[in-house]
Amino acid sequence: MSEKIALITGANKGIGFETARQLARQGVHVILAARDRAKGVEASLKLQAEGLGVEALELDVNSLSSIAEAARGVEQKHGRLDILVNNAGVLVDDASKKPSEQTLEVWRKTFDTNLFGLIAVTQAFLPLLRKSAAGRIVNLSSILGSSTLHSDPSSFIYNFKVPAYNVSKAAVNAWTVQLAWELKDTQIKVNAVHPGHVKTDMGGEAAPMEIVDGAKTSVQMALIGADGPNGGYVHMGETLPW
């Protein structure tokens, strides 16, 4: 029970991959979950070559059968889970269209991954997290999920409207609050995090933050102690406005 076990969705690249690296460097055994098993194995081999304790796991957050099979595999091999990082996400908004013009297909695809997939994964692994001495759930949100900032004309994100993505992250925030209430009397803590605007496939090369920094908030919240927050929305230790 001395070695913590973490599972990260969408961990074969970007922030998820770097989060896996940083947690493994802290002595956590990390399960890199990826929709494409081959890519997950390739990513895990890279970290294993660095001497880090990681393994690959096939997990498609849009498939209930895939999620269930992954949960069974983790239970059989490890018997518990200490950290769940819900990192997988998509941004498929059509930048040329206004909020009211985004297709229902865009809304559904976004919510299927960013919200419903996240909830499904959490539900499947919660029984294993309950077996941990100090379970931690980290939900990857975004500053773009802040309704407070989106409604403030003086805010730096006021004119940055990718509506399906933004609303899905606001929903992730709301889900985090609901789950935190449920878990308030347990050893499990759940928080939403904003990684920052990071140089990833989603963030683009012009983003101001490097991937190594984009993973830091997820790692911090995955490793918080008993006095850490529950139901928070944070970036680099600072509380963000809902």
Residue 42: count other Cβ atoms within 10 Å of its Cβ. 15
Residue 172 burial by Cβ neighbours in a 10 Å radius (0-12, 13-18, 19+): buried
Closest by alpha carbon to 163, among 235, 236, 97? 97
Helix (H) / strand (E) element for 31: namely strand 29-34
Residue 193: strand, helix, or coil: strand
Of 39, 98, 165, 184, the active-site residue reads 165
What's the DSSP call for residue 241?
P
Closest by alpha carbon to 142, among 116, 125, 124, 162? 162
Of 13, 109, 169, 184, the active-site residue reads 169
Contacts of 79 by beta carbon, 8 Å cutoff, 6+ apart: 128, 131
From CA 38, how far away is CA 217, in angstroms rounded? 28
β-strands 54-58, 5-8 pairing? unpaired
- 169 is a catalytic site residue: yes
Question: Would you state the torsion angle of the CA atoms of residues 90, 201, 136, 213, taken in this order, to the nearest 10 degrees?
Answer: -150
Residue 45: strand, helix, or coil: helix
* Residue 195 phi, psi (nearest 5): -75, -25
Q: Show which residues are catalytic.
A: 165, 169
